[in-house]
Amino acid sequence: MNDVIKTILNHRSIRKFKDIPLSREQIDTIVRAARMAPTSSNLQPFTIIGVTDPDLKKFLAKRSGNEDTINQCGYLFIFCLDLYRIMVSASAEEKVKMRNTLSFSYFNQTAVLSVGIALQNANLAAESMGLGTVIIGGINGALPDLDEWLDLPEYVIPLAGLALGVPDEQPEQKPRLPQDAIFFENKYDRDLREKVERYDKEIEEYYQARTSNRKNENWSKKIIGMLARDLPLGFYSEYIRRKGFIFK
């Protein structure tokens, strides 16, 4: 097994860091790795914002649901979808036309996929250097105020944080859904109940056996509990619309 596959298969999220900041060289290498990501039609629809301002860091720690992790980490990146940059060279007429195109969900979807690809390049580059990392989806909890902090123009949307640092924990690896539940050939197999039950049992044992944060929970129960609530999500589609994307 080569080092790339080893790094990928060895992944576990790290949420506790030693008080050691990343070096300029480490930050630079991670950004270069993200930059080299393949993107559809060479759109390169992403911007990365590094957080060094202590007030901004505190604000994000409070609003993201990951307070200790963000306060402790050696560096924090924010990965944004960016379809603003491609507009700067357009004529007024072209801009009007592009706004109509970008109004469709299609290019938003393509851009988000590209951000994920670039984010994982950064993540693996960091892990390969011995750094611990965790992706912070919770930065959504800092919207829309985060836009003012970062001075984001229209068509630029923060999607996830990447907190990094020298690991101060070595957690067990969380089991994943069995391969036969996520990979098929030629046709989707809807007969998933037994496979999910098998995984539920496995992850229940994992939660009970692990050294920290033990709990009595399985996958289905946790996710269904999370999604079958009245979530105040209207703010998000409202936010997306205010950024210029109209889902028509």
Q: Which of residues 91-130 bind its own copies (CB under 8 A)?
A: 93-94, 97-98, 100-102, 104-110, 112-117, 119-121, 123-125, 127-129
**CA-to-CA dists, residue 134 to 70, 78, 166, 175, 219, angstroms:** 10, 12, 12, 17, 20
Stretch that binds its own copies, among 15-23, 87-95, 164-172, 208-216 (CB under 8 A): 87-95
Smallest separation (angstroms) from its own copies to the CB of 29: 6
CB 157 within 8 A of CB 80: yes
For its own copies, the binding residue among 61, 140, 167, 243 (CB under 8 A) is 140
Q: Which of residues 227-246 bind its own copies (CB under 8 A)?
A: 227-231, 233-234, 236-237, 240
**197: CB partners within 8 A, 6+ apart:** none
Q: Which of residues 11-40 bind its own copies (CB under 8 A)?
A: 11, 13, 28-29, 31-33, 35-38, 40
Smallest separation (angstroms) from its own copies to the CB of 167: 15
For its own copies, the binding residue among 24, 25, 92, 184 (CB under 8 A) is 184
Distance of alpha carbon 37 from alpha carbon 175, whole angstroms: 27
Q: Which of 47, 51, 78 is nearest to 153 (CA)?
A: 47
For its own copies, the closer CB: 98 or 168: 98
Q: Which of 45, 207, 200 is nearest to 119 (CA)?
A: 45
Q: Which of residues 41-80 bind its own copies (CB under 8 A)?
A: 41-44, 46-53, 56
Smallest separation (angstroms) from its own copies to the CB of 142: 14
CB 189 within 8 A of CB 217: no
Residues in contact with its own copies, counted by CB under 8 A, come to a total of 114
Distance of alpha carbon 223 from alpha carbon 244, whole angstroms: 31
CB 76 within 8 A of CB 163: yes
- Residues linked to residue 80 through DSSP beta bridges, in sequence order: 47, 158
Q: Which of 236, 233, 171 is nearest to 207 (CA)?
A: 171
For its own copies, the closer CB: 152 or 164: 152
For its own copies, the closer CB: 211 or 230: 230
For its own copies, the closer CB: 29 or 72: 29
Q: Which of 152, 85, 80, 87 is nearest to 112 (CA)?
A: 80
For its own copies, the binding residue among 18, 137, 205, 208 (CB under 8 A) is 137
Q: Verify binding: residue 166, its own copies, rule CB under 8 A.
A: no
Smallest separation (angstroms) from its own copies to the CB of 193: 5
For its own copies, the closer CB: 70 or 159: 159
DSSP 8-class letter at 167: B
**60: CB partners within 8 A, 6+ apart:** 51, 70, 76, 78, 139, 142, 146, 161
